[in-house]
Amino acid sequence: MSPYLEKFMVFLRVEKNASHHTLTSYKTDLNQFIFFLISHFDSKEFSIEQIDRLAIRLWLGELSEQGLTQNSIARKVAALRSFFKYAFRNGWIKKNPAHLLVIPKKTRTLPKTIPAPDLQRMLDSYRNLIDSVGSIQDSVILELFYTSGIRVSELCGLDTQDVEVTKALIKVRGKGNKERIVPISSSVNKLLKNFLNQRSHPAQNIQSISDEIKRTSKVKKKESPLFIAPSGQRMYAKQVYRIVNKAIRQYCEVSQKSPHVLRHSFATHMLDNGADIRLIKEFLGHSSLASTQVYTHTSVERLRTIYEQAHPRAKS
């Protein structure tokens, strides 16, 4: 199975332009399925053609008994369907065991958001040049998440040439490698200018020139990433999560402390202040308006809470 899995992963990466998150998730899911099959067939030596619909059903049943959510099972089903469709198309199997396999309906939960005053305090503290709680890079990362609504993978993929400070725009590569232009506020644009100037003149930074050279030496020669991780490589998702988690933990009490909460907050606060949902869809890079409409439910719930608190007959 492993050679087939490797070929499938190459297909996803090269031909489908799948994101790093998708590649990691699909590989994990399929490796878990292979581990189950070893137990199911009571042998490591089994053929891909031995896998039938019953084996898949048994695995999904086991996952359900383990308490996995419908969303997690739905993703694993999607991974199986995609893999076996590719295997069938390439002639590895004569019959597709995952054909017409039903993807469980995902449970829709309302996005978690952070109150605007808390976000303002957090961002202002990071911008404070005299007594900053983080680096200028941390400040730029936090500002971009909240003021543009970009995804983690999109932020990590930004290069210096993707920033047009003269026009206050950034070019973002989203899911499926689709590009979109996202405007940024004048204040964030000014912060970006300062950040890029510090990158161009490392002697003016807190770190020494030798530290800067050491820090950036692991970046590939042809690359010019906008954000650099402490290891010296292009910024990666895990480090971004650390930066965001640390910041939110200091200033907010929201249970979920991830970059996606800032993306949710961006969309919800825009909608609360009268922005057209179609405009928000373009900002977020959603291919379907249905994906964006979840934020209308958040706003409705907020209105309901305010109504119940403020109206004298709301609870009568």
Rounded mean pLDDT, 78-84: 94
pLDDT in tens, 223-280: 789 999 988 888 998 999 999 999 998 888 888 888 989 998 888 888 888 888 888 8
Q: What residue ranges define each of the domains in the chain, with the CATH number in brackets?
A: 2-89 (1.10.150.130), 118-252 (1.10.443.10)
Concerning whether 13 is annotated as a catalytic residue, the answer is no
Catalytic residue among 193, 215, 260, 302: 260
Residue 57 pLDDT more than 70? Answer: yes
Concerning whether 171 is annotated as a catalytic residue, the answer is no
User: Maximum Cα–Cα distance for the chain, whole Å?
Assistant: 71
Highest mean pLDDT among 83-92, 174-183, 201-210, 259-268: 83-92
Please, are residues 189 and 144 in contact by the beta-carbon 8 Å criterion? no
Residue 209 pLDDT more than 60? Answer: no
d(CA 12, CA 199): 34
Residue 95: band (very low, low, confident or very high) from pLDDT cuts 50, 70, 90: very high
Closest CA to 180 of 151, 160, 202, 201: 151
Q: Kindly report the CA angle at 186 between 181 and 190, in degrees rounded to 5?
A: 105
Give the residue carrying structure tokens 């543009």.
Answer: 148
287 or 164: which carries more pLDDT confidence? 164
d(CA 67, CA 157): 35
Residue 144 pLDDT more than 60? Answer: yes
Rounded mean pLDDT, 8-29: 88
Which run of H or of E encompasses 107?
Answer: none
Concerning whether 105 is annotated as a catalytic residue, the answer is no
- Residue 50, Cα to own-chain centre: how many angstroms? 36
d(CA 114, CA 256): 9
Rounded mean pLDDT, 163-171: 89
* pLDDT value of residue 210: 40
Concerning whether 175 is annotated as a catalytic residue, the answer is yes
Q: What is the mean pLDDT of the chain?
A: 83
Catalytic residue among 175, 193, 215, 302: 175
- Residue 278, Cα to own-chain centre: how many angstroms? 21
d(CA 81, CA 84): 5
Catalytic residue among 151, 173, 234, 269: 151
Concerning whether 307 is annotated as a catalytic residue, the answer is no
| Core vs surface per residue 115-124: b (16+ CB within 10 A) or e | eeeebeebbe
Catalytic residue among 75, 173, 263, 281: 263
Concerning whether 286 is annotated as a catalytic residue, the answer is yes
Q: Model-level pTM?
A: 0.68
* pLDDT value of residue 202: 55
